[in-house]
Amino acid sequence: MQQAYSEAAHAGHGSWWPPILGLGAGFLPFGFVVLTWGSKEAGIILLATGSLICLFAMSGWVHSVIREKYAIAYDVGEYDWLKNGMKLFLISEAMIFGAFFAHHFYTRVHFDVWPPTGAPHLDTRLPAMATLLLVFSSFTMEWGHKALVKGKRLASQRWVLFSILLGAVFLSIQGYEWGHLHEFDKFVHNKGVFGSQFYSMTGFHGLHVSVGLVLLASVWVRLALGHFSAGRHFGFLASLWYWHFVDIVWVFLFTTIYLL
């Protein structure tokens, strides 16, 4: 049985979703470069196109994985190789954010005053509220996971839905702050090194929150469809780890950008 499981789990299926997702992701930095140093309209079109391709590819890929894995009987304890793969993925994501932080602090030491002269004052009250909401969403996801382990699937659904709402409110607050800085402070992404760092770091994190919301939404749907049980819910566990990672990164971002 274990051999049959191993062969089914590692069988190649010739999926087109990874290269499609890579294509969409490639549009994003290219669109950002065009938006910053080229045509604003062309940059927005490239960013929108890349975002739509990524969303389409992620949805298709998640559907394929669900259909493939649901046909295989497994227990979470048997999925050590998947757990390790998820851990390695989160480590690689942490290294990307680490590069942002390294560039930020390297730049700061070359300025006598930080933020540089001319940069707007960043209000901390609204971002602090958003931080509390995002951190609280980690607790609600954890409670949802514990409810599922205890066999309380309906309670788990409610906690996951509450987490999705908290994440959506966080993104809305971030969008409002961006709009306010752009409209009233004329603070845009190409306005000096502080502007590029601020929008790059918060925007890249916002992209991860958006991906996390897609994952949480898939978890909620799968809970409603009865795909998860106390011993069969790696998709829930992986999404939970990813959401915790997103929350922890934001705590460091908030401290670095708004408080230090």
pLDDT digits (tens, 9 = 90+) for 76-101: 455 677 788 888 889 999 998 999 99
Most confident of 42-46, 68-72, 86-90, 252-256: 252-256
Contacts of 27 (CB under 8 A, 6+ apart): 46, 47, 49, 50, 53
pLDDT at residue number 226:
83
Model confidence over 152-195: pLDDT tens digits?
999 999 999 999 999 999 999 998 988 888 777 677 666 678 88
Is the whole model's pTM more than 0.75, yes or no? yes
Task: Please provide the average confidence, as pLDDT, over all residues in the chain.
Answer: 83
In the chain, how long is the greatest CA-to-CA distance?
67
Backbone angles phi, psi at 232, to 5 degrees: -140, 85
- Range in 6-15, 51-60, 96-105 with the lowest mean pLDDT: 6-15
Compare 24 and 37 and report the one with higher pLDDT.
24
Distance CA 8, CA 211 (A): 28
Cα gap 198→253, rounded to integer Å:
10
Location of structure tokens 């994501």:
93
Instruction: Report all structural domains of the chain as residue ranges with CATH numbers, in order of start.
Output: 1-73 (1.10.287), 76-259 (1.20.120.80)
> What's the angle, vertex CA 74, arms to CA 68 and CA 80, rounded to 5?
100
Contact 218, 208 (CB under 8 A): no
Alpha helices in the chain (DSSP H): 2-10, 17-37, 40-70, 80-108, 125-149, 153-184, 192-225, 234-254
pLDDT of residue 190: 66
